[in-house]
Amino acid sequence: MTVTLTENDRKFIKGMEAAVAERGEHYLYPQREGGPDGVSYLDYWSYGACVYSTPDGTPACIVGLAIAKSGIGEVPNYGFASEASGVLINMDISDVVSRAADRAQLRQDDGSEWGVALDTFKENLMKDGVDLGSI
């Protein structure tokens, strides 16, 4: 079964690739430093606040940077509490791409490098019938 992607799906997929290209496949989402008041981004996430951008508006997580790179919408404000799918729902992103973004975000949040998170994203897309060669 082949999945029909929206234009924003295609932009977001390219945005995920651009995010990893910018920060590097070995980039790690800050776990011990980088958060405000010396608290890590992941500590804030564990309190129920996702960190799509820093307090100054700089994209922080892989999904936040992918949104910025793709131009499909505004990166959520600092502290916006939702999984990637909850953010992408209002950006004309299909359920298939949203679910894959959730999986990539979870990989990032478990301390995996962004290259691994991107691989997880693409593996989930292909498993759900997305032909990445057509993008």
- The pLDDT tens digits for 101-116 are 999 998 998 889 999 9
Q: Taking the domains of the chain in order of start, what are their residue ranges? A: 7-129
**pLDDT per residue as tens digits for the range 23-35:** 999 998 775 444 4
53: β partners: 59
- Say which residues have a Cβ less than 8 Å from residue 114's Cβ, sequence separation at least 6: 19, 20, 23, 24, 25, 26, 27, 28, 29, 62, 108
Stretches where the chain sits below pLDDT 50 are 32-36, 47-48
Predicted TM-score of the model (pTM)? 0.86
